[in-house]
Amino acid sequence: MDCFEWLTWIFRSYTKSQQCLFGCGLWSIWLDKNRNLHEGKTHSGIGVANFTKNYVRELDCLIERKTTFVGKKEIWKPPNGQSIKINFDALFDCLGLKSTSRIVARNANEEVLAFNSHLHMMVGTTFDVEALTCFEVVLTRIDLGLTDVIVEGDSRSIINKCNKRLVDKS
């Protein structure tokens, strides 16, 4: 089997993520060999592996960032009666493993009762960001002693968890 047949076999038998990792790995090795040839610099095998892993993670983040807005932009509406509305939003930087979250609690008169903004370091996944934001919403609700709360945000899974009356055992 020659080199071309071997590469064809590799790409036919591997999954998409394995193909990406393999291709980026070959590219990293080629890049390191060129750097050694032209600049006299080289990396260890671990350095090349880390470069490959980080590059693939960056590619994965680019795929995750492809978002489209469907529908019309919603305008904030105050809650009815004595209810308090807690709005939240979170951002995730998968390259820097950082996230920020913002929580605002307002009453029917549109008065801000609480505002929290947090920066979290070493957050690994979007699920972690959702869990941290959900936890912050619950803490805000407890700190304010609220019983009648409406939770609004951009993540359906967080809203469902925060609006449940039962204890979540997951």
Q: Give the pair of three-digit tokens for residue 15.
A: 């999954």
CA 137 to chain centre: 18
Residue 81 CB contacts under 8 Å (≥ 6 apart), including other chains: 108, 148
Q: Give the pair of three-digit tokens for residue 155.
A: 């993540």
In which band, very low, low, confident or very high, does the pLDDT at 168 lie, cut at 50, 70 and 90? very low
Q: Which of 46, 45, 52, 50 is nearest to 21 (CA)?
A: 52
List pLDDT tens digits, range 82-135: 899 998 888 877 777 788 888 999 999 989 999 888 888 888 777 788 888 888
Q: Give the pair of three-digit tokens for residue 75.
A: 């305008």
Q: Which of 113, 116, 64 is nearest to 90 (CA)?
A: 116
Q: What 3-state DSSP class applies to 67?
A: coil
Tell me the domain boundaries of the chain. 3-64, 84-163
CA 24 to chain centre: 23
Tokens 């308090």 belong to 84
pLDDT at residue number 170: 43
- For 84-163, the fitting CATH number among 3.30.420.10, 3.40.50.150, 3.60.10.10, 3.40.190.10 is 3.30.420.10
Q: State mean pLDDT over 28-36.
A: 86
